[in-house]
Amino acid sequence: MKILIIGSKTKYSGSRLTHLEHFSYELEKFGIESKIVMDMDFLEKSVSLNLKKKITANKKLKNLLNTFEPNIVLLDNISRLAKTILDEKIPLFLLFRGNYWEQSEWAKKTIYKSPLKFFSVLKDQKLADRIFKESSMILPISEYLKNEFQMRYSKNKIEVFPADGRNESDWIPGEKQKLIHPCVGLVQGFSVWGKTRELNTLQDVMRKLPNVTFYLAGDGIYRDKIIPKLKKFENFVWMGNLEYPNEIKKFFSSIDVYLLLSGLEGLGQSIVESMLMKKPVIASNIGGIPEIVIDGETGFLVNLGDSDQIVDLINDLLSKPDLVKKITSKAEENVKMNYSWKYLAKKFSDILEKNHYK
């Protein structure tokens, strides 16, 4: 059994590649040989007019397919490479990581207002529609995304596969940063406004908790819509992008509470990491987050925009060590059981067997 795994270099840089390598290693234990490549190694920029380069890049992918001869191709994200794979009649499995339709709508309202960029979005939507219709298997990372997908494409084979695994041995509390305590940490990108806008709630939270310092790590195209407002507060520190995973591990080791304020989330991989690092979690009750954060058991869910609820929970977690110990122990146990790469490789192998690919 051979699987070609195609990751996205432009979106995930090295972090997602590292996780795919862990996944690949565990797959071997189930008799599944895998090869990982990055899509940009086989693509020309979409705006390129150099037809010769585009043809050469396409031939490079076809040569790989002919040489490696995969039984299936696992696509880590929507990519133009899918067209060649579908044309070659190779079974395509798509990891469905986010609410594609809602993200597209936000993009058209904000960053893709020009006619040229709007046309680019429509072109991408046409490709995505083909991928959604013709893929042999759709693998949403949460029940929430499965439901979103089935509302639009009900005939596809679809299996929930929470592909945000972690090796517990890689996420152990260790070296710490020098932070001001008590403190709350946030790790978020600012690339989708539907997600990022919920950070505005932090202003009310910080106003009501002047003795708690809030550290925010992350960056993105909507930075200037968020950071200047938050910097007005003396108890706020913007960390910028932290190097992954080492600096992120130090950050998680140092904070007292982890807070995820998001208006749109497929699952929430930073939650998995913070739980392994034994940090109590407060997160928005949105998308796939409730599938990791079981309210009152493995963490706490908060309604969008409800700063009073967030403040009450932060106060509880900072003043009740027994509560923190109870919540973090349960959360760590749940993550180790359901989000280890060993478990996910077994789940993937079972999906292949169930659907007669193995």
Q: Tokens for 79?
A: 């990519």
Residues 122-132, mean pLDDT to the nearest whole number = 87
Residues 117-133, mean pLDDT to the nearest whole number = 80
- How far is residue 11 from each of residues 76, 199, 300, measured CA to CA in Å? 11, 22, 29
- Give, for 66, the enclosing helix (H) or strand (E): helix 51-68
Q: How many domains does the chain contain in total?
A: 2
84 and 110 both lie in a single domain: yes
148 and 227 both lie in a single domain: no
16 and 151 both lie in a single domain: yes
What confidence tens digit (pLDDT) does each residue in 137-159 have?
A: 999 999 999 999 999 998 779 99
Using the predicted structure, report yes or no on whether residue 120 has a pLDDT greater than 70. Answer: no
Q: What angle do CA 16, 285, 93 make, to 5 degrees?
A: 35
283 and 220 both lie in a single domain: yes
**List of residues 6+ apart from 280 with CB closer than 8 A:** 257, 258, 299, 300, 317, 323, 324, 327, 328, 331
44 and 33 both lie in a single domain: yes
Residues 57-84, mean pLDDT to the nearest whole number = 92
321 and 333 both lie in a single domain: yes
In this predicted structure, what is the pLDDT of residue 12? 42
CATH code of 18's domain: 3.40.50.2000
What confidence tens digit (pLDDT) does each residue in 27-40 have?
A: 999 999 999 999 88
**What string of DSSP letters covers 254-299?**
H-SEEEE--S--SS-HHHHHHHHTT--EEEES-TTGGGT--BTTTB
275 and 346 both lie in a single domain: no
253 and 349 both lie in a single domain: no
Domain boundaries, position 80: 2-165+340-354
145 and 186 both lie in a single domain: no
In this predicted structure, what is the pLDDT of residue 13? 47
Q: At 52, is the pLDDT very low, low, confident or very high (cuts 50, 70, 90)?
A: low
42 and 143 both lie in a single domain: yes
323 and 205 both lie in a single domain: yes
How high does pLDDT run on average in the chain?
Answer: 90
In this predicted structure, what is the pLDDT of residue 191? 87
In this predicted structure, what is the pLDDT of residue 115? 61
259 and 285 both lie in a single domain: yes
Residues 105-130, mean pLDDT to the nearest whole number = 72
Question: 3-state class of 283 per DSSP?
Answer: strand
In which residue are the tokens 């190779």 written? 90
In this predicted structure, what is the pLDDT of residue 157? 93
What confidence tens digit (pLDDT) does each residue in 7-24 have?
A: 986 444 456 778 899 999
Give the residue from 255, 105, 111, 249 showing the smallest Cα distance to 181.
255
In this predicted structure, what is the pLDDT of residue 136? 96
